[in-house]
Structure 1
């Protein structure tokens, strides 16, 4: 269910940087939350030059916006934000003032994956959800 969007201006990230960044996002999310990698989506929307503004002036955005199931602790949220910020800055050389990283909560009941409403992010709810998912796929 987690969806990570890395929004930039066209041509900012080449294929190699996108691949490295996607792999790192998956690594960070799985390590910090325990979520399986198979459900982590990373997309790279690009804006044409001149289609982003900051303080009324043309800008070149560097925004990582994540939508994750609500219920993560502040410690987990801050770890995800900091690790993604640091990696992106190191990978691209972007100044810290030019990068926005935001992790937004989505109530589990507002999302569906595998044809089923997502469970709350607890081990018990996730185990029951995966068991039902497997049963649905088997039969």
Structure 2
């Protein structure tokens, strides 16, 4: 499970940029955490620039705010690596610079999440969890992972 919400203000992202960023975020999450790609989802939401304030002042330049919710159980080093690689990917796709990108990682206990109709497993127990899923879901997830 990982849900990455990408909020952006005072800029437009094309469908191709969103696709490219979603692919990069998914790959980074899978590579850094070791989780299967089908555990990552990416949601984009454009914000009205008049709804964004930093320090109580209306936003005065483009920004992207990334909030990643991941399963609890990853090391501090893994979470730092995740943040750094995600920021680099966002810079590459959006052409924004570091101070225009704010990123956060929140952890949620696996027992407090349901995906694909099942409570999620502890980190490292993905294959056992996968084996308990209905065959149709396994087929879909295998496709998403390919």
Counterpart residue number, 1:12: 12
Counterpart residue number, 2:32: 32
Q: After the TM superposition, which residues 95-106 of structure 1 pair with which residues of structure 2 at under 5 Å, given as runs? A: 95-106=97-108
Structure 1 window deviating more from structure 2 (128-137 vs 90-99): it is 128-137
Structure 1 window deviating more from structure 2 (16-25 vs 95-104): it is 95-104
Structure 2 residues without counterparts, runs of 5 or longer: 139-146
TM norm structure 1: 0.88
SS in 1 for 2:8: strand
Paired residues in the alignment total: 136
TM norm structure 2: 0.84
Q: Distance in 1 between matches of 2:66 and 2:76?
A: 18
SS in 2 for 1:44: strand
**Deviation at 1:134?**
3.7
Deviations, residues 58-113 of structure 1 (Å, cap 9, x unaligned): 11431111000000111111111001111212222222122111111011011001
CA RMSD between the two structures: 1.9
**Deviation at 1:10?**
6.3
Q: Distance in 1 between matches of 2:100 and 2:116?
A: 36
Structure 1 window deviating more from structure 2 (110-119 vs 83-92): it is 83-92
Q: Distance in 1 between matches of 2:57 and 2:75?
A: 36
